[in-house]
Structure 1
Amino acid sequence: MKRSCDSLQRFGSRVLLGCCLLGGSASSAAEDVPAAATEHATVDAVQDVSVEAAPGTTPGVAREAAIDAPAQPPVEAAAPMPAEAAAPATVDAAQEVPLDATGQNSNDAAPQAPLEAAAQTPAQATQETPTAAAPETVIDAAQDVAGEDAQPDTAAEPANPIEQRYLDAVSTVESAGGAYDPALSQYLLGLGIAYQNDGKHAEAAEVLNRAAHVTRVNEGLYSTADLPILELLIESYAALGEWEEVGNRYHQMFQIHHRNYGNNDPRLLPMLDKLSAWHMRAYLQDLGEQPLNHLITARNLNDSSTTIMRANYPANDPRIADSLRQRALADYYLASYRPPDIPETGFDTADDAAFTRQPSYLINSFSDGRDALSSAVEIRRQDPDSTTLQRSQAVAELGDWHQLFNRTQTALDTYREAYAEGMQGGDDPASVIDQVFGKPQALPLLPQDYTLPVNPATRPQAYILLSFAVNEKGQADDFQVLESVPAAADKSVTKLQRQLRATRFRPRFADGEPAATSGLTYRYFYQP
């Protein structure tokens, strides 16, 4: 097995009911080897419903990918020119810090993150100012990021009235108070928002970086006043496809949170979640030269979240169960990871032997993920406020884990246990069973914040529409091409069928037993 050169093979289908479910496709029958380390294809299979794939992706694998981003500030924040219109950055009173010409603290070192991350992250490699992500930045997994190809030529365009009012205000304040007048930050922030609303992300990044610099000069290097500026910077850099800058800004946001809140404060949790999600997306989309580092860092950040929760919340708090499920997702990808330079030969090689000597976080990822999901099941059962659906879903996810590692009989037995759990309690049993076992579920299921719908405007028009079935063991078969536009080469159809066959499914259940399901369709878009 090898880590595919096509990063899209690392993606899974949409999450069921917002749950992060783990999985992959089938490979060899080796024990504890994930089912789709080589061809990690997944399908959002819905009976009698066509499912569309991202252009050029493998089936269900990374149909959609997006950079997690804060909601875009409303247009009104950038409209009127007075100071109150410019969405002022919130300011925490922090001591002033001497800065060098670049805005970096010349004496103070970056804070040490309270993590055990074994991987170097972009922010650890460069001490630049961070940036902010774009909620509306949809990344077509098979193409360049929209906006990378068509940047507006603002040199030839006059500023629109809103932008001009902000430009005039910046000039006025700067003339009266100098280049570091504290009032400049809010006007630069407003100008950056105006540029973003006009699609001018390069210009927005330039003025937002200046706003962050002015804020640091006046409020200190780790002032929380920088946070809204950094979020906007992430948005613009994501739109520009500058992923290293995105990572740097996420890490600077974390450093600010850590410096202000310490190691075990629950207020760190939202930032840890954002940063962990960013590293998972960076791994899945193959952003950067060291994908394994992203994966390890994401898992370590998740472990830090779990540690903080256990120190501050009751032992049966459902948030701990959710964190453990996220941890198991990282464990699955660690278990299925293969270095890119190890080819698939069918024979053991010296490189294969060397890979087996990897650290314990790779070797033990199967048992670590299984234990995390087992703990999540116990937390759900001990939580008096948990629902029948939550308990049944937790057990089913443990079954999915075994399914992904080719432990079919153990998986089916665990699914039967989940079915029985769904039939108990005060909730509507039929509704619970329908949500958990009503149709085949392709594995893995990713959290909703890992994916966004593909933009139809940028999607290739070539596609293959395939019908198939999923048998009672959760394996795809009975393939038939329903439509191909244009006519696809035989090798393309064969490859698609092979990838679907490699995908593992949670099978549909009927009357407490797994059942075959026919009439499923999958629409795969690609670039001819």
Structure 2
Amino acid sequence: MINNKLTSSAPTLATLPLTAALFAGLLLGLLLITVSPKTMGELASSNTPTSAKTSTPLASYYSTLQTYETEGPYHQNSSEVLYSLGLELQKGGQHGKALKALRRAMHINRVNGGLNSFSQAPMLRSIINSQKSMVRIEPITNSYNQLLRLHTATYGKHDPRLAPLLNELGVWHLDAYQFDESDTRIDHLTSAYSLIMSALQLSEANPSSSTREQIELLRSAALVNFHVSRHQGDQWASSTDSHYSLSADGFATTNPQRTGILSGASFRRGLVCHQRIIELTAANPGASQEEKIRAQTELADWYLLFNHRTKAMIQYQQVLTKIAASDQPDALHKQLFATPRLLPAVRMEQQQSAISGLFMTAKLDISDKGWGSKVDNIEEALLPGQSPVKRKNLRYKMLDAIKGARFRPQFVDNKPADVSNVTLTLPLIH
């Protein structure tokens, strides 16, 4: 039997005095219930495909998240679990779900570590990878902007450790330039130019910067000069004019520049870059034979790109002579001259371990003078687990990249030769 005295004597909520402290506690509780973000258990449930609920390792991540949820929605360990979950989802090509997990991981990290916590950087890079796979141009630029702000908040704007990121962001603007069809697309080029030149200045001012880093930056500087030389139009532009170019904040030039003036000097600027690369590789005792010969080959490429064909052929012949006299002539010839290369050659390069990007392939014929023709079979080349983008304009973007492009020709018996039905794989987004 229930003791009525015990129950009747217990104070009810109505009979309790509402002190200021108690009232504040109740109000805080109501606010938390009202505005608290999605719990980790709910996140796991909404992101878990039916097969993932019973699969490993996804199931283990969701189970761990639900355990941490019992200790609160912002448990600091849950950020790392969500980050790992995002990476696992990326491997399966589930980039939409990966973005949700990675953004939640970043949010929890910021709650625990602060808005400028540098431990967010790997999560933000993974977000960029998924955005690239989904070809989300503006979000990618915004994410890079956020990543740059994290670095500058951590290191300041004059630290040489910023150089690789400034270079990466500059190269991204060159990729974005291909997809921007607005009147302000030139701002991508001026932003890229400012960012890469800032990176080069930081690197050159640092006595401990590596030769390879400087060479990479010089190749990027030549690449942006190539794109400027091909730009149609003669607008006034600055690298702070457009929304996209906000990612160059703090490193962009605010002085308007005439596109025609930039374009007119692009050959000379790129030539200086390639000559400097040759000097650096020659003076570097750690440079391989392949690196030295590649540097001289890319100087010949630069001449060919700007229709100085006689100088290009003289330089190519000098390179071929050095290859023949080397201790690995067959390997070097195969690497550099057995297959035509779209120029500048750095456009063709992509990290071997890349998990994101947009690759297109095409079949075409390439003449002994380095011109392409009969372009056919244009299609996406997918990375493992990657889903096709299925954008109708990708075919035209690939055609634009090939149209008017110059190729390093195939050399047979030390002479440039025509070649048919070449397969070209080009990263439109690196």
TM-score calculated relative to the size of structure 1: 0.52
The match for 1:365 is: 266
Q: Give the aligned residue type for 2:173.
A: H
**1:328, 1:373 within 8 Å by CA — same for their partners in 2?**
yes
The match for 1:278 is: 172
Aligned mates of 2:183, 2:64 — CA distance in 1: 42
**1:316, 1:383 within 8 Å by CA — same for their partners in 2?**
no
Counterpart of 2:110 in 1: which secondary structure? helix
Superposed CA offset, 1:347-382 (max 9, x none): xxxxxxxxx953643332221111111111222222
Shift of 1:219: 0.9
The match for 1:237 is: 131
**1:281, 1:450 within 8 Å by CA — same for their partners in 2?**
no
Aligned mates of 2:95, 2:399 — CA distance in 1: 41
Q: 1:225 and 1:432, CA in 2 relative to 1: closer, same or farther beyond 3 A?
A: closer
Aligned mates of 1:408, 1:247 — CA distance in 2: 38
Aligned mates of 2:116, 2:124 — CA distance in 1: 12
Larger radius of gyration: 2
Aligned mates of 2:196, 2:400 — CA distance in 1: 34
2:299 to 392, 398, 402: 398
Aligned length: 338
1:268 to 162, 165, 178: 162
Unaligned runs of 5+ in 2: 1-30, 32-45, 236-256, 378-397, 426-430
Aligned mates of 1:316, 1:182 — CA distance in 2: 37
Select between 397-406 and 332-341 the one with higher mean Cα deviation.
Answer: 332-341
The match for 2:344 is: 444
Pair 1:208 & 2:96 matched: no
Aligned mates of 1:441, 1:220 — CA distance in 2: 47
Q: 1:287 and 1:241, CA in 2 relative to 1: closer, same or farther beyond 3 A?
A: farther
The match for 2:245 is: none
Superposed CA offset, 1:8-59 (max 9, x none): xxxxxxxxxxxxxxxxxxxxxxxxxxxxxxxxxxxxxxxxxxxxxxxxxxxx
Shift of 1:332: 0.2
Larger % of helix: which? Answer: 2
Shift of 1:221: 1.4
Q: Give the aligned residue type for 1:337.
A: H
Q: Give the aligned residue type for 1:247.
A: T
Unaligned runs of 5+ in 1: 1-100, 102-152, 342-355, 484-495
Counterpart of 1:221 in 2: which secondary structure? coil
Pair 1:297 & 2:198 matched: no
2:200 to 306, 314, 322: 306
The match for 2:384 is: none
Counterpart of 1:338 in 2: which secondary structure? coil
Seq. identity, %: 27
1:327 to 221, 228, 247: 221
Counterpart of 2:116 in 1: which secondary structure? coil
Shift of 1:257: 1.9
**1:470, 1:476 within 8 Å by CA — same for their partners in 2?**
yes
Pair 1:504 & 2:410 matched: no
Counterpart of 2:205 in 1: which secondary structure? helix
Counterpart of 2:144 in 1: which secondary structure? helix
Pair 1:385 & 2:286 matched: yes
Aligned mates of 2:424, 2:320 — CA distance in 1: 32
The match for 2:254 is: none
The structure whose RCO (Cα within 8 Å, separation 6+) is larger is 1
**2:410, 2:419 within 8 Å by CA — same for their partners in 1?**
no
Alignment of 1:239-254 (within 5 A): 239-254=133-148
Pair 1:374 & 2:275 matched: yes
Counterpart of 2:98 in 1: which secondary structure? helix
**1:387, 1:427 within 8 Å by CA — same for their partners in 2?**
no
Counterpart of 2:285 in 1: which secondary structure? coil
Shift of 1:521: 1.9
Shift of 1:334: 0.7
Aligned mates of 1:202, 1:411 — CA distance in 2: 47
